[in-house]
Amino acid sequence: MTTALETLTALSADEVVTHSHVRDVPMPSGGVLALVTLDNGRDHTRPSTLGPATLAEYGATLDALRARASRGEIAAIAVTGKPYFLAAGADLSKVGQIPSREVGLELARQGHAVLGKLHDAGVPTFVFVNGLALGGGVEIALHADYRTVDSSAAAIALPEVFLGLIPGWGGAWLLPNLIGIENALRVIVENPLKNNRTLKPAQALELGIVDEMFGPASFLEDSIRWADGVVTGRITVKRPNVPGRLERAVKWDAAISIARKSLQSKIGTVAASPYAALDLLKAAKNTDRATGFAAEDEALADLVSGDQFQASMYAFDLVQKRAKKPAGAPSPEVARAIGKVGVVGAGLMASQFALLFVRRLRVPVVITDLDQGRVDAGVARIRADIAELAAKGRITSDESNRLEALVTGTTDLRDFADCDWVIEAVFEELSVKQKVFADVEAIVSETTILATNTSSLSVEAIGAELQHPERLVGFHFFNPVAVMPLIEVVKTPKTDEATLSTAMVTAKVLRKNAVITADTPGFVVNRILAKVLGEAMHAVETGTPFEVVDRSMDPFGLPMTPFELLELVGLTVGAHVLDTHHAAFPDRFHASEALHRLADHGRILDRDSKGRRQGFDKKAVALTAGKGTALSADELRIRIEDGLADEVGRMLDDGVVSAAEDIDLCLILGAGYPFQMGGLTPYLDRVGATERVRGTTFHSPVIRGVAG
């Protein structure tokens, strides 16, 4: 019978091994520092990762160094990485292949045993964080006695919760005991759930994750000199964020309780990993190292072998691979250069566009609107946002000055004459958008790309009166523009290859993920949301209580209920989206007169002074009251699931996107569909909706995950 260790070892057969290279470095005060460099032998496009074979070699290396330390041959040990990377964490391609809880438990224990050798090496140990450090890379550093960081390191983070895991090689116990519970909650739980937010080196230093920061020019040399000072006692390391007795007695449990309530209100209770992380962080208050690590072993084994992680790996693969090679994208070589951008409109959305374009493209950006007052307000808003970025340290003062100088406003459309890209952000009305582009086309050159941010109108119809409709493309952002990572690039039957290529290249430069869609109502995200919201509104209008509608959607694991989503996007916008889809597909999408009444009223939910949900507004309930047969939560859930399976199938049959994976990618990136659900199409397969509606499944075999 094959043991868990043998199975884990077998997974390393084709692993890209990150080797542990050792060299002796003389220390300024005398003695030798053994420097371990982690390097997988690949270039900067392939970060070092930690698989079973890597861990085995790293452990053997540390054993050999401990033996040398016991003989007095070395005075200290330090670990660093190849250029730009310490380590990007566990090799997820291997973790995703783990077949059982027993093998997952073996991986967790191996990680603790190997990384823990740095803590028990017999001499002072250091990690020089010379570049990106994620997950297990950060945990390598946490096991050391001391840490430095390169000020140019790309990112530092424990993203495990985002992937359906927990920091299971020491992070969940070591970090709160190093930097305090509130800081640890931010790093381990809050940041991963905020689109996987990472720390900059200065933030890691401020939190106390690292002890010192040096510039990249002489980072290694400075770190070695600093380590020498620590070893000789010349430098005393201070850690003000290490929790004391008062924090453990008073703040610790309170912080955990607040975090738990916040999670429940924001993401519900379906996702397992955030709550597992909370349990570990709570226990870290009064457990010793061995007990804390054992708890991590058990939690990681549960999650690695669970359905949510398998679904997360499907979603992760979409974001990491498919999003970087968009289906149907033409060669970037035919893209046109963009030397100046025009933005039609000076409102909030237009200002967000302008800020993003000027910050990422570093080219002149001009905005226009109907009168000088609106233009001046728009320019002022953009420049204030730039100043705020500088105040937060996101950009330097010199960068701030340069960016502000690149932003101008005008009421004279002739100032758009030399623009290479013009995007509109005006009222969602076909005739308005048609006039905007007719006016712009009369001014700009024949090669200028025209982009519309429409969320539901036909892009082809918008360009119906253009002389050159082939240079019009849909470029649909999601709000807030700076945060949401998706752009739906809408190709009409007339959009030419150069225009489509320019749109895709521009999206990449803007650091967004682009998915090409056909020109159809709602494209992908809004069409799916319109189906859900239309069914929700139809249910309440035909007698189903609001509370039942909310409960019906709980198994989807979505970050908010249908009515919270409606308030977020705006009730007027929601009503318009439903009207558009009903007009296009009257047999499948419900219109909602009640939603128009709610838009006039202004709200659906009652909230307290801090914006927290308190229930449903009584007048909103009255405005939607209608006759019909109330559905149970299960009946409505099945109706929504079957309706979505039908709609997704039609979208694939009609070629709206290339594959089911693109629909999942759009919903993950554009609608916050949770990783642990894996995407909409795997969910519909698992609950049987695809089989009921289409007699088959979208994926074969069906992707494991939460079954509803």
- Residues catalogued as catalytic: 455, 476, 488, 526
Beta bridge partners, 133, equal 87, 156
What whole-number distance in Å separates Cα of residue 353 and Cα of residue 342? 10
What whole-number distance in Å separates Cα of residue 209 and Cα of residue 146? 9
DSSP notation for 396-445: -HHHHHHHHHHEEEES-GGGGTT-SEEEE---S-HHHHHHHHHHHHTTS-
Q: Are 88 and 134 in contact (CB under 8 A)?
A: yes
Q: Are 486 and 525 in contact (CB under 8 A)?
A: yes
What amino acid is encoded at 62 in this protein? L
Q: Are 170 and 202 in contact (CB under 8 A)?
A: no
Return the closest-CA partner of residue 514 out of 281, 247, 327: 327
Q: Read off φ and ψ for residue 517, nearest 5 degrees.
A: -125, 160
Q: Read off φ and ψ for residue 34, nearest 5 degrees.
A: -85, 115
Preceding omega of 364 cis (within 30 degrees of 0): no
What whole-number distance in Å separates Cα of residue 226 and Cα of residue 616? 60
Quick one: DSSP state of residue 16? -
Strand order in the sheet with 513-518: 407-410, 365-368, 341-344, 421-424, 449-452, 472-476, 486-491, 513-518
What whole-number distance in Å separates Cα of residue 625 and Cα of residue 631? 14
CA angle 39, 45, 49 (to 5 degrees): 40
The two beta strands, 421-424 and 146-150, are unpaired
Return the closest-CA partner of residue 12 out of 45, 59, 57: 57
Quick one: DSSP state of residue 669? H
For 565-582, give one letter per residue: b (16+ CB within 10 A) or e: bbbebebebbbbbbbbbb
Structure tokens, 377: 């307000």
What whole-number distance in Å separates Cα of residue 81 and Cα of residue 37? 5
Q: Are 14 and 49 in contact (CB under 8 A)?
A: no
Return the closest-CA partner of residue 236 out of 146, 175, 176: 146
